[in-house]
Amino acid sequence: ETGNIRDILPFLEVTYQEQKPILIIAEDIESELLAGLILNRLKNNLKICAVKAPSFGDNRKAILQDIAIFTGGKFISEETG
């Protein structure tokens, strides 16, 4: 669950500097964060996409790790930091 843009600001700064796209997959995205992401997309041309996480339970973590591997990304969670 992600609710504050400050929670992900370090990732946004790195992706902006490196001109890399970012995909956020979260259980829930609060409206404040979504508004911040939209604003960054429009003002800074940040390549960003936020979607709701698929599945549920124990399968969710495995699916998200698979998505990270498949896309060449990094799986980040509360457990992994």
- CATH number for the domain harbouring residue 13: 3.50.7.10
Helix, strand, coil content of the chain in percent (nearest 5): 50, 15, 35
**Which range of residues forms the domain containing residue 59?**
5-71
Q: Is residue 21 part of a domain?
A: yes
- Angle, vertex CA 54, rays to CA 37 and CA 14, nearest 5: 35
CA 14, 20, 24: angle at the middle one, nearest 5? 80
Percent of the chain residues past pLDDT 90, beyond the cut: 7
Number of structural domains the chain divides into: 1
The pLDDT of residue 28 is 83
For residues 4 and 47, give the distance between their C-alpha atoms in angstroms, rounded to a whole number: 19
Residue 27 is given by DSSP the state: S
Whether residue 78 lies inside any domain: the answer is no
What pLDDT was estimated at residue 1?
54
Domain membership flag for residue 77: no
Residue 81 lies in a domain: no
Residues 37-48, mean pLDDT to the nearest whole number: 89
For residue 76 the two structure tokens come to: 């980040």
pTM, entire model: 0.72
52 in a domain, yes or no? yes
